[in-house]
Structure 1
């Protein structure tokens, strides 16, 4: 299984949707809570150049946010990434 990391905020509906999709696939991502901002937010921006959450990484590769994750799923490209 791939290593999945997700930067999120606990009340963000897009973060919740992305988490549910991954959980449905048996994936428990390493999560970085940005509710209070701080160094992890700066780290996220440095890694992907985006300021919104969620931001998702699979095996260190930035795949984007919630909409991007669902697009990968629709296109049949998410499962191969997670199985790598």
Structure 2
């Protein structure tokens, strides 16, 4: 299974949707809450090429983007291949 990292905040609906999709796929992930830790948010932004919104999702170190990007991969039939890597 792929190594999945997701940067989130507790009240973010898009974060919940992304996590729900990953859970439906049976994909485990490491979640980092950036809501109370400015250094974690800076790390997220550095890794995500300046993107500051959550969620920001990484699969095997590759920046996937946010929830909309994750859903687009699923709709295009490409998510399963990434998760299986």
TM range (shorter): over 0.9
TM-score (norm 1): 0.97
Give ranges in structure 1 of 5+ residues lacking alignment: none
- Hey, what's the Cα distance between the residues in 1 that align with 2:72 and 2:30? 21
Secondary structure of 1:7's match? strand
TM-score (norm 2): 0.96
Q: Give the alignment's Cα RMSD to 1 decimal.
A: 0.7
Runs of 4+ off more than 4 Å: none
Task: Give runs of aligned pairs for residues 2-81 of structure 1, distance below 5 A.
Answer: 2-48=2-48, 49-81=50-82
Q: How many residue pairs were aligned?
A: 84
